[in-house]
Chains A and B, each alone.
Chain A
Amino acid sequence: MLRILPPLLQGLEITVALTAIALVGAALGGLVVVAGRRSRFMPVRAVTIAFIDVMRNTPVLVQIFILYFGVPEIGLYPEPFTCGVIALVLQNSAYAGEIYRAGIDSVNRTQTEAALSLGMLPRRALFDIVLPQAIRRVLPVLGTQAVVILKDSSIASTIAVVELTHSGKLLLDRSAAPYETFFMVAMLYLATAAFLLGAMKLLALRFPVRT
């Protein structure tokens, strides 16, 4: 059973790379989304809401297929890994944006009022008072979303990104030990998910919620 570990670990490397890049991308993209969602301009808000709607209602698989099979028709030929990253970032930016929005809205309005009554500009009130409190509240939820990204990275295996699931599938065809192979794959995913959640929890401990 240990002989199948090396190729699986190579796949895990790709999975971790995919997840890490998508995590950062979604975390940043979520900022763009929440900014657009809370914008004063109706067109910007409308476009953002439409974007979130589309991302929430279409599966990641379809998005990856559109990028990988559809985009070549306009001349660009993205690599499978890139398609996976872009699809994961787009989908999870929408979710991250909504998470940020919930976090910001959960900070009591009195905080904003207090800041404004002290003479702060609205933007300063947002960045110095509301956002730090909001970030502390959303860290656990972001941890859950990170695990979701990890699990969705397995969908990239359908367009031949040789990550963990794909490596497992290849090994399955070659070896005659399906149970061991997928048991190892499942264990590796669990271990990575546990690691991700643990890292997020450590981060949340460093920035506790002080109500």
Chain B
Amino acid sequence: MTLASLRYMGTGAGVTIMLAVAVILLSSVLGMGLALVRLYAWPPLRALAAAYALVTRGVPLLVLLIGSYFSLPYLGITLPVYPAAVVVMGLYFAAYMGEVFRGAIMAVPRTQWDAGRSVGFRAIQTFGTVILPQARRLCVAPFLNTALSIVKNTSLVSAIGGWELVTAGREIGERTGDLMPTYLGVALGYYLICFPLARAATFVERKSHA
């Protein structure tokens, strides 16, 4: 494979990483909000949030991406690919992140709340000073696993016409005719991007079990 091809794929990998980071940030923020709503808000809102989580976990991401992206022209809106993809993926993974954060918060022992009350903290103080730091420790492993999933799912942006690692690989492959080595190279690219995340996730999991 030529050096120019490698640099082309490198740029694609860079786009993949940027997309993934954007989605991780967006989904984390939205997910935190979703988790708080599901745990502490007014019951009808909680039901809405639960329904949202259920729907986004039952429908494939590809369907959401294609559906929303190709429906936009009929509304007269022409959004560029990247923002549209990031928004849709952010909304989609917000449900997953919401589950991660909600699980972490719920996993903090009930006794911690009692301890906070007994020291005189109000509920919000207890939450911020006692519960949240403990939950933060508990959520790292599933968070990393979800982040890993996000990185892999950015590959679907190629299916709605966005340019990233997979598209770069396909262009090179079609130009040179060597499809197999090129796609193996794409796989290697994803492996290299994901490897640190997977390692970190395994490390955290092992640390919390030992």
Contact = CB atoms under 8 A, between A and B. Distances in A.
A185 B67 contact: yes
Contacts of A62: 155, 166, 183, 186-187, 190
A28 interface: no
Contacts of A155: 60, 62, 156, 159
B10 interface: no
A73 B179 contact: yes
Contacts of B55: 186, 190
Contacts of A153: 60
A22 interface: no
Interface in A14-68: 53-54, 56-63, 65-66
Interface string B146-179: 0010001101101100000010011001000011
Shortest Cβ-Cβ A-B pairs, 3 listed:
A182-B67, A70-B180, A57-B194
B63 A73 contact: no
Interface of A: 53-54, 56-63, 65-66, 69-74, 147, 150-155, 157-158, 165, 168-169, 172, 176, 178-179, 181-182, 185-186, 189-190, 193-194
Given A165-B63, A190-B55, A58 B190 contact: yes
A contact face: mostly helix, strand, loop, or mixed: helix
A69 B60 contact: no
A186 B194 contact: no
A58 B191 contact: yes
A27 to B, nearest CB: 21
Contact of A56 (B60, B71, B179, B198): B198
9 contacts: A54-B187, A57-B194, A57-B195, A69-B173, A70-B179, A72-B179, A154-B62, A169-B66, A178-B71
Contacts of B67: 168, 178, 181-182, 185-186
B179 A69 contact: yes
Contact of A178 (B74, B166, B178): B74
A65 B158 CA distance: 12
A188 B57 CA distance: 13
A207 to B, nearest CB: 24
A61 B186 CA distance: 11
Interface of B: 55, 57-64, 66-67, 70-71, 74, 148, 152-153, 155-156, 158-159, 166, 169-170, 173, 178-180, 183-184, 186-187, 190-191, 194-195, 198
B58 A194 contact: yes
Given A155-B62, A178-B74, A185-B67, A57 B198 contact: yes
B20 to A, nearest CB: 11
Contacts of B194: 56-58
A100 to B, nearest CB: 17
A58 to B, nearest CB: 5
A152 B60 contact: yes
Given A59-B153, A61-B166, A178-B67, A189 B62 contact: no
Contacts of B179: 69-70, 72-73
Given A151-B59, A189-B60, A158 B159 contact: yes
Nearest to B54: A190
Contacts of A73: 178-180
B60 A154 contact: yes
Contact of A182 (B71, B148, B169, B190): B71
B174 to A, nearest CB: 9
A58 B58 contact: no
B58 A157 contact: no
A189 B166 contact: no
Given A70-B184, A189-B63, 14 more contacts: A58-B190, A61-B159, A62-B155, A65-B166, A72-B179, A151-B60, A151-B61, A157-B62, A169-B66, A176-B74, A178-B70, A181-B67, A186-B55, A194-B58
